[in-house]
Structure formats: C-alpha cells, structure tokens
Structure 1
Amino acid sequence: MKLHLLTAAAAVLLAACATTPAVSSGPGQLDTEGPVQVSWNDPAEFSEITRGRDRMETLRGTWVRELATYLRDTAAERLQPGETLEVELLDIDRAGDYEPWHGPEADDIRITRHIYPPSIVLRFRHLDATGGVLAEGERRLRDSGFMSRALTHRSSDPLRYEKQLLDDWLSRELGRS
C-alpha cells in the first residue's frame, strides 16, 4: 500500500514538473517613460545564465529589469531636450562567478576576482529632436580593471560593477554627465 502511494506521489510530481511553465521572463522591455527606451533579450540566453546558482533570479530577469531601469533613468538625465535613446541589452555577464570546487556550502556565493570582469553587449540608436540618427550601433562593454577602480556606486549594490560599466559607456557615447 505504501509503495503504491509513493509511486502515485512520484507520478503527480513528475506530471507537475512536465506541465509547469518555464520561469523565464523571455525578452522584455521597460514601460516607456521619458526619452529612453530599454529592452532586452531573453535572460535565459545571456552568458550569465551559464554560470552560477542564481539561475532562478536570472531566468526571472529580476536583476536585468533593475539594470535596465538604472540605464533608462541615468541616460535620460544626460540627453539634450528632444533627444531620444533606444537601447537593447543583447548579452550580460555579471562581474564575479561561482566556484563549485569550494563545495556545496558555497554554492550561492559569488566570488569576485579580476578574472571575472563584467561585460555587456548592447545595441542602441541615439536620435535628435527631429528623429535624425546621431549615433547607432552595437557595443561590447567590458571592464577588465573593474576591481582596481574607485566606484561611484554603493559597495553593497550587487550590480555596482555593471552600473559603472553603463555609466562609462554613457559618458563616452553621450559625452555628458
């Protein structure tokens, strides 16, 4: 009798797993607020997803949305009146990585070392007030010296290195701070 109940319970669990929709948020975009529009590819396809134990947060796109919101708000402050900016985040690999050889007790600890720099690949279009293209293209952002720099973001912010990378790009691209 116990064996039948156990088998039935296992079958129910397997069926639930098979019919549970994927957690991935898929491609997304922020609601349009102001002159900057930010969208992103499916976080399940980002380089970041191939590493680490925080797969669920990556699949949900939680930190991707936070980074996109930061980019939108920061870029909006740098644009001239009438200008717009469209940015698509194509790939993200966050600073740090997980090192499974430290054992199961360290499965959820992101180790930050120089060998794990942040990188972001994005596509953008910067338009003037008449809709003319001021600049556009694809950029591969990477900061190999990220640990040697003074950061403008709080040391407790888990996205501080990625935000700094975006700040640097915006300074180069828009030329204003």
Structure 2
Amino acid sequence: MKQWKIGLLALVAGVGMAGGVQAGEVEMHFQPLDKYRDLGRTTVEREDIQKSLSEHFQKLAAARLPAGQTLKIDLLEINRAGEMDMRRGMPDEVRVLREVTWPQMDFTFAVVEGGKELKSGKAALSDMNYLHGTSARYNDGDPLRYEKPMIDKWFDTEFGKKAASR
C-alpha cells in the first residue's frame, strides 16, 4: 500500500512538472493555532484550515517559483469570510456571509535561494467584494473558497500570472 502511495505521489509530481521547470517550495509558519481571530473553532477545524492554506501556497509556489527557491510564509492573522452565528434550535454554529464580513489575511514572506534572501515583505490581503468575486472557481464545500482568490491575486502581483492565464 505504501509503495502505491509513493508511486502515485511521484506520478502526480511528474505530471505537475511536465508543463515547465518550476518547482518552488513553501515553508509555512503558524502561531499557536488558537491565537488566530478566525482560523476555526475546534482543534480539528484549525488543523484542517492550516493544512489547506499550506497546500494552496505550496501549489502556487510549485507552479510559479523556480526550483531551488523557497517561499517562507509567517501567517500573522486570518479573519475568514463571514462570521459564526449560533441559531437557536440548531446543534452547530453556521457561518453567515455579509457584505461587511470580508476575508482578511496578514503575513510576512521571504523568497530564499541558497540561503540568500531574494525578496521579502509584508502582505495585508482583503477582499471587500468577496461575495461578487472569483470564488466560483473553488468548490462550495471548500472552507477557504473566499480566501484562496485573495492569495491567488497576491501571487499574481508578486510573482507574475501563470503562463496559461496570459
């Protein structure tokens, strides 16, 4: 079973590399997960969101940064789209989306190659038009469907658009 998984990962990595020689990596650094304003309510939810954020940054870096470069991200704060609202008679909280509850994310970043810092800065992302924007390209079940387009836009600005979208 493990050999199958390793083979599948190698195949997926090979297919991803077939379009070009890009293969940058990401190092995501998080504060203690309970310190964020809106990473999630439970430990499991916070860990899932952390994993999804890391995977999304990694996917973008692998496609846009050259091999040998590492994008280091230190997530300072996240406030996901909407807000939790406990409805009477319902067992769980519900995330309610409103015009005034747009997603926000703050992080510092550095691009490093061979121990040398090539680029660094601080990003303060927000999308006040998130209800009318580009979240449609992400699955309705994706808990970060409103945050990922902000990250995509930031990547386009910092590292150039993907060749396929030019």
TM-score, normalised with respect to structure 2:
0.72
Structure 2 regions of 5+ residues with no counterpart? Answer: 1-22
- The alpha carbon displacement at 1:170 in A equals 1.0
1:154 to 139, 158, 162: 139
- The alpha carbon displacement at 1:107 in A equals 4.2
Q: Percent identity?
A: 28
- The alpha carbon displacement at 1:80 in A equals 2.2
Change (3 A) 1:59 1:81: closer
| 2:122 aligned with 1:138 | yes
Give, in whole Å, the separation in 2 of the partners of 1:34 and 1:175.
14
Deviation string 1:120-160 (CA, Å, 9 cap, x unpaired) is 11111013x45443321221111111111133212232211
- The alpha carbon displacement at 1:62 in A equals 2.1
Q: What pairs with 1:104-143 in structure 2 (closer than 5 Å)?
A: 104-105=89-90, 107-127=92-112, 129-143=113-127
Could you say which residue in structure 1 is the equivalent of 2:28? Answer: 38
For the aligned residue pairs, the C-alpha RMSD in angstroms reads 2.3
Higher strand residue share: 2
- The alpha carbon displacement at 1:58 in A equals 6.3
User: What SS does the aligned partner of 1:114 have?
Assistant: coil
Task: Report how many residues are paired.
Answer: 139
Give, in whole Å, the separation in 2 of the partners of 1:57 and 1:113.
25
**Structure 2 residue identity aligned to 1:41:** Q
Give, in whole Å, the separation in 2 of the partners of 1:142 and 1:86.
20
User: What SS does the aligned partner of 1:72 have?
Assistant: helix
Q: What pairs with 1:61-140 in structure 2 (closer than 5 Å)?
A: 61-100=47-86, 102-105=87-90, 107-127=92-112, 129-140=113-124
Deviation string 1:28-68 (CA, Å, 9 cap, x unpaired) is xxxxx96221121112110116xxxx521467522112211
Give, in whole Å, the separation in 2 of the partners of 1:65 and 1:45.
16
* Structure exhibiting the larger radius of gyration computed from Cα positions: 1
Give, in whole Å, the separation in 2 of the partners of 1:82 and 1:119.
30
Q: What pairs with 1:20-59 in structure 2 (closer than 5 Å)?
A: 35-48=25-38, 55-57=41-43
Change (3 A) 1:106 1:119: farther
Change (3 A) 1:46 1:158: same
Query: Do 2:105 and 2:125's aligned partners in 1 also have CA atoms closer than 8 Å?
Result: yes
Query: Do 2:24 and 2:63's aligned partners in 1 also have CA atoms closer than 8 Å?
Result: no
**Structure 1 residue identity aligned to 2:101:** Y
Give, in whole Å, the separation in 2 of the partners of 1:87 and 1:35.
11
